[in-house]
């Protein structure tokens, strides 16, 4: 959406009052090469606390860890050949991938290789990261031996130092929400959205940018994640939203409101699933056949996925 300074100032105020570290930290980010720590606050957790960003070692390995952190925070800037939208990894993994209940990297690191129903086989961490680029970033997979993958894995490994391996740590993933009492509803969700989300993410869901740089990420539309991303599932989005949004006021929505607003958000068009083979029905049947998945379903007279722009976003113009 078009930049509206009043809105942006209002949103920034909410954040500073709430003491949020998310977008607040984002707007105050140091220049990429300044060497200043980006996320100095360690998340406290019963099971595990990742090390302080200031303790990244000053050696060759530390340089790679720092590169991974930079990529995670400003993904399009550092890995533009692989990214087709304006999102960052940290848009959905808050506090630079540290925050518990926001699918933190330290908890993910110790769980791979892992079986994933998404592709019905055991995935290495490399494949998992490649998937994030293809779907969440609406881009293409960096090669397994690319610096991008090495840097991200170095950052994850460093964050997870001292954690037990093969254990689901407290704070891993997003806390699953119980099924809602009432079926998630678009109209109720729209009301929740207008009252709690539109200020930052825009009435059109397109997010907000300042001088071409994303400040508030898009929730739907061409600049958002594509139909293959985990966040397009209503249950996943509801869980993320309940635990993390509105930014700075996480946990204030009721479960029902989180479900309703997730339903509303994911009832909008977004870039095509890269696995789309020309038939919505077949693609739905193969990859989207669950109640919490709206791909290929009819909402307000429109079939979701039918008017999707091809996967790949801005990479398609290159």
Site string for ligand HEC, 91-130 (x = CB under 6 A): xxxx--------x---xx--x----------------xx-
Provide the minimum distance between the beta carbon of 79 and ligand HEC in the complex, in angstroms, as a whole number.
8
In this structure, what DSSP letter does residue 180 have? P
CA atoms within 13 A on the CB side of 33: 0
175 vs 278, beta carbon nearer ligand HEC: 175
For position 214 contacting ligand HEC by CB under 6 A, the verdict is no
Nearest to 258 by CA among 273, 244, 271: 244
Of 229, 210, 216, nearest to 84 (Cα)? Answer: 229
Minimum distance, C-beta of residue 211 to ligand HEC, in the bound complex (Å): 16
**Least distance to ligand HEC from the beta carbon of 203, Å?**
12
Cα atoms in the Cβ-side hemisphere of radius 13 Å centred on 142: 25
The four Cα atoms 224, 230, 233, 236 give a dihedral, to 10 degrees, of -110
Residue of 53, 141, 151, 197 that binds ligand HEC (CB under 6 A): 197
Using an 8 Å Cβ cutoff, are 295 and 227 in contact? yes
User: According to the binding rule CB under 6 A, does residue 75 interact with ligand HEC?
Assistant: yes
> What angle do the packed helices 234-244 and 255-265 form, to 10 degrees?
130
Half-sphere exposure of 22 (CA within 13 A, CB side): 28
Using CB under 6 A, pick the residue from 1, 7, 8, 11 that binds ligand HEC: 11
Distance CA 156, CA 152 (A): 6
* Binder among 206, 230, 274, 305 for ligand HEC (CB under 6 A): 230
List 8, 231, 250, 308, residue binding ligand HEC (CB under 6 A): 231
Scanning 37-45, 85-93, 284-292, 305-313 for contacts with ligand HEC by CB under 6 A, the matching segment is 85-93
Question: 107 with 171: CB under 8 angstroms?
Answer: yes
Q: CB-wise, 128 or 275, nearer to ligand HEC?
A: 128
Which residues contact ligand HEC by CB under 6 A?
11, 14-15, 22-23, 26, 75, 87, 89-94, 103, 107-108, 111, 128-129, 132-133, 136-137, 152, 172-173, 196-197, 199-201, 216-219, 224-225, 229-231, 236-237, 240-241, 245-248, 253, 261, 265
């Amino acid at each position: 959406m078009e930049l509206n300074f009043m809105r942006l100032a209002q949103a920034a105020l909410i954040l500073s009052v709430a003491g949020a570290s998310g977008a607040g930290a984002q707007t105050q980010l140091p220049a990429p090469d300044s060497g200043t720590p980006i996320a100095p606050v360690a998340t406290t957790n019963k099971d595990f606390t990742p090390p302080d960003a200031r303790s990244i070692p000053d050696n060759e390995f530390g340089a790679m860890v720092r590169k991974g952190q930079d990529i995670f925070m400003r993904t399009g800037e550092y890995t533009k050949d692989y990214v087709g939208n304006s999102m960052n990894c940290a848009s959905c993994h808050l506090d630079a991938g540290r925050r518990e209940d926001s699918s933190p990297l330290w908890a993910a690191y110790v769980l791979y290789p892992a079986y994933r129903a998404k592709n019905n086989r055991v995935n290495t961490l490399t494949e998992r990261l490649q998937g994030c680029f293809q779907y969440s970033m609406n881009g293409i997979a960096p090669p397994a031996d690319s610096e991008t993958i090495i840097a991200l894995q170095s950052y994850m490994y460093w964050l997870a130092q001292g954690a037990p391996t093969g254990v689901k740590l407290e704070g891993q993933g997003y806390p699953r929400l119980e099924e809602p009492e009432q079926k998630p509803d678009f109209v109720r969700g729209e009301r929740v959205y207008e009252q709690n989300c539109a200020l930052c993410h825009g009435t059109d869901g397109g997010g907000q940018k300042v001088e071409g740089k994303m400040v508030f990420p898009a929730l739907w539309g061409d600049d958002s994640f594509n139909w293959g991303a985990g966040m397009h599932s209503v249950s996943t989005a509801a869980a993320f939203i309940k635990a993390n949004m509105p930014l700075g006021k996480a946990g204030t929505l009721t479960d029902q409101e989180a479900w309703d607003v997730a339903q509303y958000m994911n009832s909008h068009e977004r870039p095509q699933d890269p696995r789309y083979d020309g038939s919505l029905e077949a693609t739905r049947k193969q990859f989207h056949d669950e109640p919490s998945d709206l791909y290929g379903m009819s909402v307000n007279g429109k079939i979701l996925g039918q008017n999707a722009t091809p996967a790949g976003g801005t990479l398609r113009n290159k």
